[in-house]
Structure 1
Amino acid sequence: MTSISDTLTQVADTLCGYPLFIVLIGGGLFLFLYSGMVSVRRLPDALAALRQNRSGDAPQRGISSAQALLSVVAATVGMGNIAGVAIALAMGGPGAIFWMWISAIVGMSTKYHEGVLAILHRSTRTDGTPVGGPMHIITSGLGRRWRPLAVIFAIAGMFGTLCIINANQLAEALATAASSAGLADDSHALRLSLGILMALIVGSVVIGGIKRIASVATVLVPFMVTTYFIMVAYIVAANIEAVPGVFASIFSEAFSLRAGWGALAGVAIIGARRAALVNDAGVGTASIMHATSANKEPVREGLIAMLGPAIDSGFVCTLTAVALLLAGDFSQSGPQGLSLAIDAFGRAIPFGEYLLTAIVTCFALSSMFTYSFYGSRCAAYLFGERSSRWYTLAFTLSLILFAAVPLSAAVAMCDLFYALMAFPTMLSLILLRKSVRKATLQYFNRDNNYADTTREATA
């Protein structure tokens, strides 16, 4: 059994290393250039599209574009925005943050293509609810002969969206906090109890379907991001004289050649890879959510979709980086992630370790809400709509197991499925890039009333 676990871990580490980096970052850079740097040139249009409130977008059968965006952000703004940034800083230094920013810009163009294609190639359930995702994009956009690729994505999606790491790390963080506060000993029984509590909370939300998930995300995401911003602002205010040096180190270390070109490339890869794994650009899950939007205009959905990486890999990760560079202790040896962040906030803010644990709890739970929907749509594509209910139940119960059991092999399996989601998604985005460009040119070449019209072909 140990040999199987070791083999699985080795395969996952290999596939999720440079191959996944090349596919997500390399493919995203290609789309960025092919689209004419859409994530830079069209950012004002994206912000304007988000502010628009059109009557044609009334979410009678779907959700609004803003709700879709917040639901996607609810999934991506999670443990990675705190633990992932800490890992990037520990491994690559301040310069890694610069490359996280670059990766976010590249990821925005990938998300733009996902959003456009999600509306162009979605389907409608018998009750009128819109559904979609890479499975539908592949079969509708590339043809039925490509269906095996869609099946691979759906199978990988069912398992890759299980919140193995989130459930396990959240249980560990809560158990550690309870132990340090003298409320309970960090034991297997405590983690099992926390897993049951997680399952009850997540189940009460996801059982209500996409509209309840979107409603909760609409409230939870602004609250947790705002609260996190206030905590970071406190740390910045307390160390204001050091802030210019922090940003100077990010830019200077990003291009430092003191250790040679190999070290520079290593820093860039660490930062870019962390950002790619945080914002999910190119993995395909975002298009599952954006396909449920009541919006009938593909390009406007794409513009709104590309704001996701700007929020998570841009804004939230920058908040974490600034706080950790001001208050973090990087002299310790061994793996540094969530524990480094909790320790830094604890030193910088009164009761900061408990406040950050509360924020981490919100981050982790919000990810679970949305990922349960992603997995249920993959199950529905493979086995029919009724199977989505059974998947949701299995997803909820699995949180108890993941919270209490050592998960080295399971985490490796999750990472492996994560990569298997990205490969078909990026391939379909690249192959269908011309249809995205055509839709983009039509959208921006028409008069100002274009966005108010309903295109029957995408209804």
Structure 2
Amino acid sequence: ISLGGPGATLWMILAGFVGMTTKFTEATLAQMYREFRTDGRVMGGAMEYLSKGFAELGMKESGLFLAGMFAVFTILGSLGAGSAFQISQSLGVLKMQFPFFAKLPIAYGLIMSFLVGIVIIGGIRRIALAAEAIVPLMVILYLSICLWIIGSHATEVPTALYKIFTEAFTPAAAVGGMTGAMLQGFKRAAFSNEAGLGSAAIAHSAASVKYPIRQGLVALYEPFIDTIVICTMSALVIVISGVY
């Protein structure tokens, strides 16, 4: 919005629909090509369907290479673009409320490392259980705050929607929408719905469903809720407040 104005919101919504199809494909393939280990663990994700899928096409070496590259980049991405970024952002907010963390940020890092470690050590199933418990609560809390702000300024909502739709097709919004929503929007969406990254497929592979496509349908709703619903609510709050 800061780059292309309120009209960039419409482009971001369209990007969300693209993410829905991508997430559907990832989750379905993760279920189709997952592997069950002798100890009961499930091994699945992009590294599995890349290696096995390409092997079925007679390109085993290419599949193994792509699977290996995906695994390496996912590990690096989870450490830098994922964990480090999230910790840094949350610390920036907390240290304003708790000066202790501003003076000793390593303490916050150790606390978060301990909490995350408890989940990760339990494997993919514990990660799924933790996400299942935390994410719905997080979404409900955030949406409640957004609805409260929007409800408090209900008379300004029609004007905000008008700006979003009319400015979406102005030259400034077109440029801002393409560069802002398509570049910045996809980049920001990667931190939330993970559509197109392949990492979310690892979690979806652990789900117990009769048909792979059912998990794909479940995954399809994630970008819808995250990008289309929540981001639109956020955009309305920003446009109504005028802070952009």
TM-score for both structures, normalised by structure 1: 0.48
DSSP-derived class of the 2:206 partner: coil
**Aligned mate of 1:310, from 224, 231, 237:** 224
- Report deviation, 1:96: 1.2
Report the counterpart of residue 300 of structure 1 in structure 2. 214
Report the counterpart of residue 231 of structure 1 in structure 2. 145
Report the counterpart of residue 161 of structure 1 in structure 2. 78
**Aligned mate of 1:265, from 172, 175, 184:** 175
Report the counterpart of residue 28 of structure 2 in structure 1. 116
The 8 Å contact of residues 4 and 177 in structure 2, kept in 1 or not, is answered as yes
Q: Which structure is larger by alpha-carbon Rg, 1 or 2?
A: 1
In structure 1, C-alpha distance between the alignment counterparts of 2:66 and 2:97, rounded to whole Å: 44
Please tell me whether residue 172 in structure 1 is matched to residue 92 in structure 2: yes
Please tell me whether residue 100 in structure 1 is matched to residue 20 in structure 2: no
The 8 Å contact of residues 119 and 296 in structure 1, kept in 2 or not, is answered as no
Please tell me whether residue 134 in structure 1 is matched to residue 46 in structure 2: yes
Matching residue's letter, 1:315: V
The 8 Å contact of residues 136 and 150 in structure 1, kept in 2 or not, is answered as yes
Report the counterpart of residue 3 of structure 2 in structure 1. 91
In structure 1, C-alpha distance between the alignment counterparts of 2:67 and 2:98, rounded to whole Å: 44
Moved over 4 A (4+): none
In structure 2, C-alpha distance between the alignment counterparts of 1:220 and 1:185, rounded to whole Å: 23
Report the counterpart of residue 275 of structure 1 in structure 2. 185
The 8 Å contact of residues 5 and 176 in structure 2, kept in 1 or not, is answered as no
- Report deviation, 1:235: 0.7
- Report deviation, 1:282: 1.2
In structure 2, C-alpha distance between the alignment counterparts of 1:206 and 1:145, rounded to whole Å: 31
Matching residue's letter, 1:106: V
Q: Gaps spanning 5+ residues in structure 2: where? A: none
The 8 Å contact of residues 30 and 204 in structure 2, kept in 1 or not, is answered as yes
User: Deviation per CA, 1:189-236, whole angstroms, max 9, x where unpaired?
Assistant: 2x1111112112222222222332222222211111111111111111
In structure 1, C-alpha distance between the alignment counterparts of 2:7 and 2:22, rounded to whole Å: 23
In structure 1, C-alpha distance between the alignment counterparts of 2:147 and 2:54, rounded to whole Å: 48
Q: Aligned ranges for residues 20-39 of structure 1 at < 5 Å? A: none
In structure 2, C-alpha distance between the alignment counterparts of 1:314 and 1:308, rounded to whole Å: 9
The 8 Å contact of residues 11 and 182 in structure 2, kept in 1 or not, is answered as yes
Structure 1 residues 241 and 199: alpha-carbon distance in aligned structure 2, compared to 1, 3 A threshold? same
In structure 2, C-alpha distance between the alignment counterparts of 1:308 and 1:238, rounded to whole Å: 28
DSSP-derived class of the 2:102 partner: coil
- Overall identity of the aligned pairs, in %: 35
The alignment of Structure 1 onto Structure 2 pairs a total of residues equal to 232
In structure 2, C-alpha distance between the alignment counterparts of 1:233 and 1:100, rounded to whole Å: 20
- Report deviation, 1:185: 7.6
Report the counterpart of residue 127 of structure 2 in structure 1. 213
Q: Aligned ranges for residues 38-117 of structure 1 at < 5 Å? A: 89-117=1-29
RMSD: 1.7
Which fold has the larger relative contact order, with Cα–Cα distance below 8 Å and residues 6 or more apart in sequence?
2
- Report deviation, 1:313: 0.8
Report the counterpart of residue 446 of structure 1 in structure 2. none
In structure 1, C-alpha distance between the alignment counterparts of 2:127 and 2:199, rounded to whole Å: 15
TM-score for both structures, normalised by structure 2: 0.88
Matching residue's letter, 2:229: F
Q: Gaps spanning 5+ residues in structure 1: where? A: 1-88, 331-459
The 8 Å contact of residues 256 and 264 in structure 1, kept in 2 or not, is answered as yes
